[in-house]
Amino acid sequence: MKEGARFSAGRTFLLGFGFLGVSVIWALYNAYVPIFLKDSFHLRSTLIGLVMTIDNILAIVLLPYLGALSDRTRTRLGRRRPYILVGSVLALVFFLFIPWVTALQRLGLMMLVIILMNLSMAVFRSPVIALMPDITPSRFRSQANGIINFMGGLGALLVFFGGKPLYDRRVSLPFLVGGLVMFASCLLVVLFIREPAEAEPVGARHLSFADSFRSLAGNLKDVFGGERSLLSILLAILFWFVGYNAIETFFTSYAKYYLGLKESTGALILGFFSVTFMVASIGSGFLGGRIGRNRTIRIGLLVTCATLVAALFVRRFLPLALLFAAGGLGWSLVNVNSLPMVVDMTTLEKVGGYTGLYYFFSQAANIIAPPAAGALIDAFGYGSLMVFSSVLFVAAFFIMSLVRRGEALDSGAR
């Protein structure tokens, strides 16, 4: 894409439906699968945490390959959209099996379904993310990421508020409705987003796993062998996603087994987080463009950490929901501005690869977080959850002070 290309808010909102669909699936998965594993299969929190890393293990293996492969793909649908179409169809099928297999109480079959669903999601996660920088000039990427995170927040909001009455009526209903919403959303992206013709490589060749990991190794060489800004932001991403994923994975369990609330009520509290995340996302992107992405991220880390510390002393629904609403605001400042910082540290030709690099570190965090948080919960109880995440957000705040690059091209070096 040429830097002078026009930014289209309408097209970005349309692309955001892909993020909405992905968000619906992961919100449902993280809210209810840990409960299924504990109540139906009687697993300890450490083992539940290990199961919940399956998607992240698959992602860290596949996303570098799929990101680089989509960079080189050349079809009538473009580079990214074939992966979105195929992955969303398969993910829908396997996602619908989860409550059915839970009712059968067959752990081996449950593991197979979880693995296949996560494989299907991995097929299109990196390509749908890479579409944003494909169609957006550098100076507008924080704003565009704000819009698509708004749509992702809307997807989570639909789950946490709409999912409660569906779940209370029948456990399988949120999975049926959520799966169909995901597929319909991805289909909108495939049908109506047109990738820029100049982004389609001429002479694309076959890419093997070895090729993709050589590409990843080259990108990691940039990380560890270059100046420290790229390494610093990726380490910060690692830390804050460990903290965030621990809450995302275990909060409904925390609500049920520590606070004495229903799991659907715990999911509803997360809904307040998603409301403010969604509402603030667009503004967070524009704020990052105005005062700088790095500064905006650090403000967000402080706000999110403060709400988690305060939550340590709260056990009732309404004040906890209000605290999580404040946390959603802080998280939007962090999440909206981080991917644009990473992709603006590279060239357009390597956007897919650097998107995969971003996910390499975020998925590594998500591999670490569930078993680590689960082990702490088994050792010290559910009260340790908020402390664990708070410490990680504080660490990420200090690491971000080392980052000197990644602002929009108009306002600094790439």
pLDDT, tens digit, 9 for 90 and up, residues 333-359: 998 898 888 877 765 556 666 666 787
CA-to-CA dists, residue 320 to 133, 194, 302, angstroms: 36, 43, 18
Residue 91 pLDDT = 94
Tokens of 174: 């949120």
The arithmetic mean of pLDDT across residues 201-218, rounded, is 58
d(CA 298, CA 301): 5
Q: Phi and psi of 41, rounded to 5°?
A: -115, -5
235 pLDDT more than 80: yes
H helices, E strands: number in the chain: 15, 0
d(CA 120, CA 20): 17
Residue 52 pLDDT = 82
- Strand, coil or helix: 405: coil
Neighbours of 94 (CB within 10 A): 20
Query: Which alpha helices (H) appear in 7-51, and where do they start and end?
Result: 9-39, 45-51
Residue 73 pLDDT = 72
Say if CB 406 and CB 293 are below 8 A apart.
yes
Domain range 10-198+213-411, CATH architecture? Up-down Bundle (1.20)
Helices 107-135, 9-39: inter-axial angle, 10-degree rounding: 160
pLDDT confidence bin for 4, thresholds 50/70/90 = very low
Residue 1 pLDDT = 44
CA 394 to chain centre: 20
**DSSP string over 348-388:** GGGHHHHHHHHHHHHHHHHHHHHHHHHHHHHHH-TTHHHHH
Query: Which alpha helices (H) appear in 226-262, and where do they start and end?
Result: 228-257
d(CA 66, CA 211): 11
What confidence tens digit (pLDDT) does each residue in 175-184 have?
Answer: 999 999 999 9
0.85 exceeded by pTM: no
CA-to-CA dists, residue 412 to 7, 112, 148, angstroms: 20, 48, 24
Residue 212 pLDDT = 60
Say if CB 129 and CB 339 are below 8 A apart.
yes
